[in-house]
Amino acid sequence: MNTLNAMALPLSISLSAVSGLGVLFALLGQPVISGGWFNALLVLAVAAVLALRLPTPWRSGLLALLALTLTLMLRANNEDKIAFYLLLAVLIASFLLPNLTRLVRIALGASILLIAIPLAGLSNSFLFELGIQIGIFAALALGLNLVVGQAGLLDLGFAAFFAVGAYTWGIFGSPQAAQFIGGFPAQGLEGNFLYLFMALAIITAAITGVLIGLPALRLRGDYLALVTLGLGEVVRILANNLDKPLNITNGPQGITPVNRPDVGILADFLRAIGAERIYGRPIDDAIAYAFFFYLLVLVVIGIVLLTNLRLANSRFGRAWVAIREDEIAAKAMGIPLLATKLLAFATGAAFSGIMGAVFAAKQTFVSPESFTLQASIAILAFVILGGMGSIGGAVVGAAAVTVLNLGILKDFSDLLNTWRQTGVSILGYNMSNLPPQLNPAKYERMVFGLILILMMIYRPEGLIPEKRHRVELQEAREEAKEGSRI
């Protein structure tokens, strides 16, 4: 390990430099190394810069170099998802690595979010989709993190608030509202009302949070989990059945098409900067909307993050932590338990409500199937993976699991499919005999389950632990050690 530390700087520099040069050659039309090997090199370079101990200026410089390299790489080959994942890793690292200056963080973050990813997304809109999904899930994870991580209240029905937000816009921004409100515009409110309804979704979700919280939050932690699970399921059942006596949600059929805001200006902007050259086709609605929702999610997640950070350091944030650590002590210190818990519930719900409205517009359809227990557990898995109570952790957890589920597992499925069709043998097993039920794309439940179990057993503080939590767990470990010695 010592030799590795000594080698850290030269190793990182050389790996980054070689990959940078490689991209330059590839762009000039003379690829030196073939695709797969080059990706491996990039992975090594990014891992080296992120994981090894480097002096601050060098790390900043190398991160910037890698970000540039990866952006160019994505320009050269827009199907290269690995470069995209690495770009995300660099982005997240630039916020989380300890020894970077604020200026470097902001510059790196802004250039990746506003230049690199849009460039990549314009040539391959799936990357936008991935970015949007990560943003949506990150907001949900932040909301649940506030409830579970910061206030210590286990909510197993969190998808309900997402549903409320989605239906708030889904019903009024589509032909649905005209079904039960006489005189309502037949096609629903036009798309630009979305911005108003994002605000309304915050309110409706927060109210739902209070309504669910009022009975649930009087209970102890374990009952709370069960009751929220039940009430979350009640919200889904209601969405699935309120097509009679009055057709409010259109039941299992779901609501479609949900209107989207006007993106004419954005499309004009894309045309003006000559984005057709990157897109490869004239700018159409598909790409304009992908870009629009990417930006919208970015703005919303920014607001959510800012609110969350401010709250965490406020009187309320400290009250939540106090309740999490010891409810009775907190009560003794004069913290109003129910009101403080309700505030956590309502705020968390509001975060997911606003994203729900965005989700409805982005998907252009809303159906109860998006808000099952599995969705609630998925959000919990994001929080646990990242680290309960850790704001950065919630975002990392959401990003990692989303990339795994939407990207890597699906890619792996496609690879297996190719093998199955071409009849490749691996270790003497003919791949064409592989049952389709074993499709890795379907392993979400197992992934969530394993994340929850393994993290709880081996690293309960999560990938990016909250500071306070880390200390506490270390103490607990030491106590346990001492205990066993006795």
Partner 1 sequence: MKRFATIALGVLALGVASAQPNVIKIASVSPLSGPQSGLGTAIAQGAQIAIEDAQARFQQLGFQLQFAPQDDQATPDVGVAVARRIVNDADLLGIVGHLNSGVAIAASEIYKDTNLVMVSPANTNPRVTDRGLLNVNRICGRDDIQGPVGAEYAVRVLRRSRLFVVHDKTPYGQGLAEAFAARARELGANVVALVGTEEASNFQPLILQMRALRPDLVYYGGIYDKGGVLVKQMRERGITATFMGGDGLDASDLVKIAGSASKGVLFTTTAGPISTLPRAAAFAQRYKAKFGRDAEAYAVYAFDAANVILTAIEASIRANNGRKPTREQVARAVREVRMDGLTGRIEFDSKGDRKLSDYYIISLREARYPGEVLRVIQFAPPAARQ
Partner 2 sequence: MTVADLLSILPQTILEGLLLGFVYAMVALGYTMVYGVLGLINFAHSEVFMIGAVIGLEVFRFWGNPEAPVISNPFLLLLAAIMVAMTGSGIVAVLIERLAYRPLRRRGTKNILVPMITAIGVSFLLQDLTRIYAALRHNEFNMQYRTYDALNAVFMLPMQTTIQVKGIVLIAVSILMLIGLTYLVNRTKLGKAIRAVSQDMQTAALMGINADTIISRTFLIGGALGGVAGVLFGLLYTNVTPYSGVLPGLKAFIAAVLGGIGNIPGAMVGGLVLGQLETLSGTYLPFLTNGNFGTEYKDVFAFLTLVLLLLFRPQGLFGQNVSEKV
Given the rule CB under 8 A, which residues bind partner 2? 148, 152, 154, 156, 215-216, 218-223, 225-227, 229-231, 233-234, 237-238, 240-241, 244-245, 328, 373, 377, 380, 384, 388, 435, 437-438, 443, 445-446, 448-453, 456-457, 460, 473, 476-477, 479-480, 483
Closest to partner 2 by CB, 80 vs 233, is 233
Considering only residues 432 to 461 of the shown chain, the ones binding partner 1 according to CB under 8 A are 436-437, 439, 441-442
Asked whether 188 and 172 are in contact (CB, 8 A), the reply is yes
Q: Provide the minimum distance between the beta carbon of 51 and partner 2 in the complex, in angstroms, as a whole number.
A: 27
Q: By CB under 8 A, name the one of 268, 285, 478, 479 that touches partner 1.
A: 285
Closest separation in Å from C-beta 410 to partner 2: 17
Q: Reply yes or no: is the peptide bond before residue 245 cis, omega within 30 of 0.
A: yes
111's contact among partner 1, partner 2, none, with CB below 5 to 8 A by partner kind, is none
Is 190 a binding residue for partner 1 by CB under 8 A? The answer is: no
Options 257, 264, 336, 449; binder of partner 1; rule CB under 8 A: 257
Q: For residue 393, give both structure tokens.
A: 């952790």
Encoded tokens for 371: 């808000």
Tokens linked to 437:
């039920």
- Residues 459, 464: Cα–Cα separation, whole Å: 10
**Distance between terminal CA atoms of the chain?**
34
Closest CA to 46 of 65, 27, 22: 65
Least distance in Å: CB of 400 to partner 1? 12
Min dist CB 35 to partner 1, Å, is 6
Q: Provide, rounded to whole angstroms, the least separation between the CB of residue 230 and partner 1.
A: 16
108 vs 164 by CB, closer to partner 2:
164
245 binds, among partner 1, partner 2, none (CB under 5 to 8 A by kind): partner 2
Integer Cα distance of 28 and 146 in angstroms:
49
3-state SS string for 169-224: HHHHCCCCHHHHCCCCCCCCCCHHHHHHHHHHHHHHHHHHHHHHHHHHCCCCHHHH
- With CB under 8 A as the contact rule, the residue among 113, 240, 242, 434 that binds partner 1 is 240
Burial class (CB within 10 angstroms; exposed 0-12, middle 13-18, buried 19+) of 473: middle
SS3 259: coil
CA angle 366, 372, 374 (to 5 degrees): 130
Name the residues that contact partner 1, by CB under 8 A: 1, 4, 35-37, 39-40, 43-44, 47, 51, 77, 79-82, 124-126, 129, 240-241, 251-254, 256-257, 284-286, 363-365, 367, 369-370, 406, 408, 410-415, 417, 421, 436-437, 439, 441-442
